[in-house]
Amino acid sequence: MRKGSPNFIGENLKEIREARALNQTTLAKLIGVTRQSISQYEKNNKTPSHDVLLKMSGTLRVPLLFFFQNRYQIPDNSLVFFRSLSAATKSSRLQAKRKLFWVISCVEYLRNFIDFPSVNYPDFGTPNDPSNLTFKEIEKIAKETRRHWGLSNGPISNVVWLLENNGGVVCKQELHKQKLDAFSHLNADDFTPYYVLITDKASAVRLRFDAAHELGHIVLHRAISPINFKNKATFKLIERQANYFAAAFLLPEETFSNDVLVPSLNLFRSIKPKWKVSIAAMIKRMRNLKLISEEREKRLFTNLSRRGWKTREPLDDQLVYEKPRLLQRAFEIILESSIVSRDDLINNLGIHLDDLEKVVGLSDFFDIEGNIIRFPNMRIHNED
């Protein structure tokens, strides 16, 4: 029998260490042990003493129970669609991936009490090799996705709610990592799509386009293998494809083209509140549809920069952010109905209250004493 803390699970220590963006050396210094000890704990070769366990709990901000739970594990073939595969974002991706699976754990727990909307995402049988997918086909798939959800060819009122109403799980997080953008994941167990939208420095139209971009990955790239995803050329291609899908999904050719018969920056500015898409994205969409020449595209982008609109466009500070509501409503239901207490909820999930708010996107959900703040107008999709 191992000495120290029987039933300690080393993988759980690794999970929370990576979620806190700490390497083994840094954590060892914080709790007063050697790096080798941390390595041994994580490999289950030995377990920490009770005193060390208490230091771990306090330093990593998790309840003691966390280290002994059978927690949701990341499948080996798990594919998360990140925007960058550079070495500079490796630790950020790892941290974000750990927190993404906290969201999945929360949903798996909530499903014990709440009926979530059924997954209603189209499957077009797209190829596992994205190089066999043409942009003409992507244009058609974007149109068919709209048709599948019964949408007209006009502007989509709320992309985030659309994703949620059809069985997707959306949350917004602040990761404070400038090189890390929105990302998504299709759960191989039940095919539930998960979307994490990063709010750091993002405008309402940027988050909306990010959501459509990640939808593109879910619809277009569900068959791609993790090995192919790591190929740089393939990675760049699927990013281009997701961007193309997002533009085609948000700006249908038939109706959008009628709004831009005489393109100009002032015209784009005037229709931006209608389509809720950036001026830059509208220019790019026009070029993809061959409504303007390459030279005209360059002039429009030059003038965009000249006006100072490259980093911040007009109306970016006025258009309203689309906020996820599904998870917030689910937590509200089980807490208000006293199905479980707040303390039991935190213990069962194994994460700190701050993490629950930040990771799942429950901004200002609890007050300073940990009581739930009510949102009576929030409803999940299939609630009676």
Q: Does the structure show a pLDDT above 90 at 384?
A: no
76 or 167, greater pLDDT: 167
Q: Cβ–Cβ contacts within 10 Å for residue 273, how many? A: 12
pLDDT category of residue 362 using cuts at 50, 70 and 90: low
CA atoms of 172 and 179, how far apart (whole Å): 16
pLDDT value, residue 289? 96
Q: Is the model's pLDDT at 378 over the cut of 70?
A: no
Predicted pLDDT at 89: 74
Give me the residues paired with residue 194 across strands. Answer: 169, 185
Q: Please say if the pLDDT value at position 251 is more than 70.
A: yes
Which strand (E) or helix (H) includes residue 195? strand 193-198
In the chain, % of residues over pLDDT 70 = 90
pLDDT in tens, 140-177: 999 999 999 999 999 999 999 999 999 999 998 876 65
* The total number of residues written for the chain in this structure: 384
pLDDT of amino acid 206: 94
Mean pLDDT of the chain: 88
| Cβ-proximal residues to 90 (8 Å cutoff; 6+ apart), any chain | none
User: What's the pLDDT at 383?
Assistant: 41
Q: Which residue has the higher pLDDT, 3 or 277?
A: 277
pLDDT of 181: 85
pLDDT band at 367 (very low <50, low <70, confident <90, very high): low
pLDDT confidence of residue 27: 97
CA dist 122 and 182 (Å) reads: 22
Please give the Cα distance from 9 to 37 (Å, whole number).
Answer: 14
User: What local confidence, expressed as pLDDT, does residue 237 receive?
Assistant: 95
Residue 372: the pLDDT is 44
Angle (nearest 5°) at CA 231 between 285 and 72? 95
Is residue 249's pLDDT more than 60?
A: yes
pLDDT in tens, 329-344: 898 888 888 888 878 8
Taken in order 34, 35, 36, 41, the sign of the CA dihedral is positive
Supply the DSSP symbol for 66: G
Residue 109 has pLDDT above 70, yes or no: yes
**Has residue 270 got a pLDDT over 90?**
yes
| Cβ count within 10 A of residue 40 | 16
Domain at 10-68: CATH architecture: Orthogonal Bundle (1.10)
Write the pLDDT tens digit of every residue in 4-43.
789 999 999 999 999 898 999 999 999 999 999 999 999 9
pLDDT tens sequence across 234-245: 999 999 999 999
* More confident position, 362 or 321: 321
Residue 170, classed as helix, strand or coil, is: strand
The larger pLDDT score, comparing residue 149 to residue 70, is at 149
pLDDT given for residue 84 in this prediction: 77
Q: Average pLDDT in the 196-211 region?
A: 88
Give, as one character, the DSSP assignment of residue 28: H
The boundaries of every CATH 1.10.260.40 domain in the chain are 10-68
- Name the pLDDT band for 368 (thresholds 50, 70, 90): very low
Q: What percent of the chain has pLDDT over 90?
A: 63
- Which pLDDT band holds residue 226 (cuts at 50, 70, 90)? confident
